[in-house]
A = this chain, B = another copy of it.
C-alpha cells in the first residue's frame, strides 16, 4: 500500500468518528503557535490543543521571518492575540549553514538556491530570543500581542520557557 493510500485509510477511520463539524473559523483560544516542522513534535499533543483551538504555523526551525505573512493574517483577520514560539532540542537547523545547503543544492539538483536564506542557527535558546525580538520589532505585529518562547525537549517531552 502506498503512503498516500495509508493516509486515506487512516482518514476514513478519523472521519468515521468525526464530531467536530460545526467549529467556527477563528481559533477559540486566540493563539497562534509557531513551531518547527520536525517530525517528533506534535504541537497539539504537546500543548493540549483540540481541533478549533489555535492556528499552528510550522516551518523548518519554527522561524519567525518565514511566518510573518501567516501571523498577520492570524491576528488581523482572525483575532489571535498570543504567539507561542516552539523550537526544540536536537533540531536539524543546528547542523548546517547556508553555505552547506547552497552547495548541496548545486551538487544534487544542478540548481541555484543562493537567493534563499535557509535560517539555520547555532544556539537554540538564542534562536528563540531572536525570533521573539524579530516579531517584537516588526511594525506588522502590534505591541498588544503577547509573545512567549519555549524549547521542547525531544528526549523527555517537556517544555522549557525561554526568558
Q: Is A158 part of the contact surface with B, judged by Cβ < 8 Å?
A: yes
Would A7 and B48 count as touching, CB distance under 8 A?
Answer: yes
Bound CA span A78–B92, Å: 8
Would B45 and A109 count as touching, CB distance under 8 A?
Answer: no
Q: Is A133 part of the contact surface with B, judged by Cβ < 8 Å?
A: no
5 pairs, A vs B, C-beta closer than 8 Å: A28-B39, A40-B52, A57-B59, A76-B104, A76-B108
Interface size for chain A: under 10, 10 to 19, 20 to 34, or 35 or more residues? Answer: 35 or more
Q: Contacts A15-B157, A40-B20, A76-B101 given: A60-B56 contact, CB under 8 Å?
A: no
Within the complex, which residue of B4, B39, B49, B96 is in contact with A27, where a contact is CB–CB below 8 Å? B39
Within the complex, which residue of B40, B45, B51, B56 is in contact with A23, where a contact is CB–CB below 8 Å? B40
Would B58 and A56 count as touching, CB distance under 8 A?
Answer: yes
